[in-house]
Amino acid sequence: MLHKDLRTSIFNIYGFVRFADEIVDTFHDHDKAFLLQQFKTETYDAISRGISLNPILNSFQRTVNEFNIDHALIDAFFCSMEMDLNKKNHDCETYKEYIYGSAEVVGLMCLYVFCEGKQELYNELKHGARSLGAAFQKVNFLRDIKADFNGLSRVYFPGCDFNNFTEQDKRNIEKDITNDFREAYQAITRLPLKARFGVYVAYKYYFSLFRKIQRMKPARVLESRIRIPNYRKAMIIFRAGVKNQLRLI
């Protein structure tokens, strides 16, 4: 849904973060801490040299160097991935730190690409980009409770006991996510045209997923991964396309 000029760079960012996430989530028969540290070292080597024999890192370094992506965002991302290796329960401080490094910085990396070097525009929109990344991540946490809690023994939401997940717990989380979505939307309407439609479709998809979760009881959220059926996805794209044509985004 993004303009063709932006797609490759966004693919490059996604490939990088997806690969690191796979290391901490799925390489259970290997020394994950060593592999992640090796991947981190190779990432910075690739960026400094401007080349890597690892195709994922070679693609990522190209995007980092082309758009002058702040290396502090990469540092924060790796910090969150390292937390996934050992941190099973979060307090408010580590939760915010994790959300920033695992999701908000990804939104900021993408914003560098969307703004195509316009630093003033980046500065204006970065709060909204962080909010959208946070909203996406928190929705993912809600729909993945079963896999995270039962499969990986992780509890991301501070103060929650998923052995006794109450309606009030769920409402508190949903209130926080609602605020993130509200702040993100204001920034989406000000994105450059090349990025606006694609980001808006992603926003509407995740917001629809969130609305579905809101209608469910806490016990049901714990039982299965919530999904949006394909026909609903098609409707989201169609309606977003109409709004885009009418310049209502």
The pair phi, psi for residue 18, each rounded to 5°, is -65, -40
Task: Quote the DSSP letter at residue 104.
Answer: I
Arithmetic mean of pLDDT over the chain: 93
For the four alpha carbons of 5, 10, 16 and 19, in that order, the dihedral sign comes to negative
Q: Which domains does the chain have, with CATH numbers?
A: 4-245 (1.10.600.10)
91-109 per-position pLDDT tens digit: 899 999 999 999 999 999 9
Distance CA 62, CA 40 (A): 16
The residue-averaged pLDDT of 162-172 equals: 88
Strand partners, 89: 155
pTM of the model: 0.92
Helix (H, G, I), strand (E, B) or coil at 155: strand
The residue-averaged pLDDT of 165-182 equals: 93
Confidence check: pLDDT of 161 > 90: no
pLDDT of residue 150: 67
Confidence check: pLDDT of 153 > 80: no
Instruction: Categorize the per-residue pLDDT at 132 as very low, low, confident or very high, splitting at 50, 70 and 90.
Output: very high
Residue 136 CB coordination number (10 Å): 25
Distance CA 48, CA 226 (A): 41
> Which residues are CB-contacts of 107 (< 8 A; sequence separation ≥ 6)?
129, 130, 132, 133
pLDDT of residue 133: 97
30-70 per-position pLDDT tens digit: 999 999 999 999 999 999 999 999 999 999 999 999 999 99
Task: Quote the DSSP letter at residue 70.
Answer: -
Confidence check: pLDDT of 149 > 80: no
